[in-house]
Amino acid sequence: MSEVSRPAAPGAQASRAQRRNALHPGAWWLWSLGLATAASRTTNPLLLGLLIAVTGYVIATHRMQSPWSRSYTAFVKLALAVLAIRLVFAVFLGSPIPGTHTLVTLPELPLPDWAQGIRIGGRVTAEGLVFALYDGLKLATLLICVGAANALANPARLLKSLPGALYEAGVAVVVALTFAPNLIADVQRLRAARRLRGRPDKGIRGLLQVGLPVLEGALERSVALAAAMDARGYGRSAEVAPAVRRTTAVLTLGGLVGVCAGTYGLLTAEGGTYGLPVLLAGLGAALAGLRLGGRRSLRTRYRPDVWGVRAWLVAASGAGVAALLILYAAYDSAALHPGVVPLTSPTLPLWPAAAILLGLAPSFIAPREPS
């Protein structure tokens, strides 16, 4: 008698469909790194604010209710702190930008002769503050773009997609990235439980009574992770020929040196002719070394994430923003770097702004994953 196959349950079918339609986590990182590259090419506060608005909109439409998704708020707070510190340094330590509009004159601390070029206090000019604001806002935008990738990309799925040669390093990075969000979630959960019981959750007493359970929970998670990794054979490697090991080391190290030399050539005027070929050769050698190094890994992937059309479109939107701003910087760099001497109000260039709006593509392309 032939067996009749049973139809899959609706819940199982929905779960498989969600995994099949889920966006690859690497696409989120490529998208955010493209926006960060665009932010590094300009100090125009209007364009930087537009980049922050683009990342915020995508986060608002696609962020899940998960521990790592809360990291975006932490990165925004860190960006604001960096901006404030940059302004404080400009006020108390001065600015290299000369200015004629004096806002306030602070008492200047006399320094010895060997500290020439450094001052503490003195004249604070509007030009120096505006320059520090532009510079700090660029760094803050870079941090916010990286925070968007941390909030959107599932670290466990990203670890599963890493090449075998990078798996050990990837585990350490993922554990480090997920420790702080889980710690924050534990603190919020314990403080809410203490409030429900009518116990204080603030002050030194509340901190001491909450800190011990949090540290105990972190230790238990670490022990459970180590036991799970040992049970799954983590760290075991296959035997490869000595020639393969030497070839892998030469390709990986040579590729990294080529990437560094090519990047330096692209950033300098003298290396414009050899920078791109050396960079491409270094990338090729490094990828070949990683592929050979993956032979030592005995790890297999269960239901690996598929890099589909949507992942290509999301990654291409970030790369397109970076490429268009780099091309526009070669055409008209003054619009991307508004002057501060003399003080002029920044203007919003049309084409760079339209290029940045291309970064909104993931909000319409990427599927919304369930929490």
Q: Are 292 and 319 contained in the same domain?
A: no
Kindly state the tokens that stand for 19: 């995994």
Any idea which of 155-169, 235-249, 255-269 has the lowest mean pLDDT?
155-169
In whole angstroms, give the CA distance from residue 135 to residue 256. Answer: 30
Last residue of one domain, picked from the residues 255, 276, 296: 296
* CA proximity to 331, closest of 355, 310, 315: 355
Which tops the pLDDT comparison, 142 or 166? 142
Q: How confident is the model at residue 81 (pLDDT cuts 50, 70, 90)?
A: very high
**How far, rounded to the nearest angstrom, does the alpha carbon of residue 161 sit from its chain's CA centroid?**
17
**Domain interval for residue 84:** 22-161+307-365
Instruction: Assess contact for 355 and 320: CB atoms under 8 A.
Output: yes
Same domain? For 34 and 155 the reply is yes
Kindly indicate the confidence band of residue 228, based on its pLDDT and cuts at 50, 70 and 90.
Answer: confident
Task: Please indicate, yes or no, whether residues 143 and 39 belong to a single structural domain of this protein.
Answer: yes
Rounded to a whole number of angstroms, the distance between the first and last alpha carbons of the chain is 44
102 with 146, same domain?
yes
| Mean pLDDT within 163-167 | 64
* Model confidence at 8: pLDDT above 50: no
pLDDT category of residue 191 using cuts at 50, 70 and 90: confident
Amino acid identity for residue 191 in this structure: R
The reply to whether 72 falls in a domain is: yes
Residues 64 and 141 in one domain: yes
336 occurs within a structural domain: yes
- Whether 22 and 369 have beta carbons less than 8 Å apart is answered as yes
What pLDDT is stored for residue 84 in this prediction?
93
Helix pair angle (167-196, 71-93), 10° resolution? 90
Same-domain pairing of 124 and 40: yes
Would you place residue 196 in the very low, low, confident or very high pLDDT band (cuts 50, 70, 90)? Answer: confident
Whether 233 is covered by a domain: the verdict is no
Give per-residue pLDDT as tens, 270-328. Answer: 555 677 788 888 888 888 877 777 666 666 666 777 788 888 999 999 999 988 998 88
CB 357 within 8 A of CB 322: no
Residues sharing a CB contact under 8 Å with residue 74, sequence separation 6 or more, in sequence order: 147, 180, 184
pLDDT at 26 over 80: yes
Distance CA 161, CA 26 (A): 8
Q: In the predicted model, what is the mean pLDDT of the chain?
A: 77
The mean pLDDT value for 114-120 works out to: 71
Q: Which is more confident, 357 or 156?
A: 357
For residue range 316-325, what is the model confidence (pLDDT) as tens digits? 999 999 889 9
Quick check: 265 pLDDT over 90? Answer: no
The residues facing 105 across adjacent strands are 123
In a 10 Å sphere around its CB, with 0-12 CB exposed, 13-18 middle and 19+ buried, how is residue 148 labelled?
Answer: buried
Same domain, 74 and 125: yes
Number of domains in the chain: 2
Report yes or no on 219 lying in a domain.
no
**139 and 31 within one domain:** yes
Residues 342, 102: Cα–Cα separation, whole Å: 13
Give the other-Cβ count within 10 Å of 238's Cβ. 9
- Please give the average per-residue pLDDT across 139-145, as a whole number: 93
Do 252 and 340 sit in the same domain of this protein?
A: no
Task: Give the rounded percent of residues in the chain with a pLDDT score beyond 90.
Answer: 17
Domain closes at, from 275, 296, 317: 296
- Which pLDDT score, from 0 to 100, does residue 2 have? 42
Residues 271 and 326 in one domain: no
Residue 270 token pair? 């003298």
Residue 338 has pLDDT above 70, yes or no: yes
The three-state DSSP-derived secondary structure of the chain is CCCCCCCCCHHHHHHHHHHHHCCCHHHHHHHHHHHHHHHCCCCCHHHHHHHHHHHHHHHHHHCCCCHHHHHHHHHHHHHHHHHHHHHHHHHHHCCCCCCCCEEEEEEEECCCHHHCCCCEEEEEEHHHHHHHHHHHHHHHHHHHHHHHHHHHCCHHHHHHCCCHHHHHHHHHHHHHHHHHHHHHHHHHHHHHHHHHCCCCCCHHHHHHHHHHHHHHHHHHHHHHHHHHHHHCCCCCECCCCHHHHHHHHHHHHHHHHHHHHHHHHHHCCCCCCCHHHHHHHHHHHHHHHHHHHHHHECCCCCCCCCCCHHHHHHHHHHHHHHHHHHHHHHHCHHHHCCCCCCCCCCCCCHHHHHHHHHHHCHHHHCCCCCC
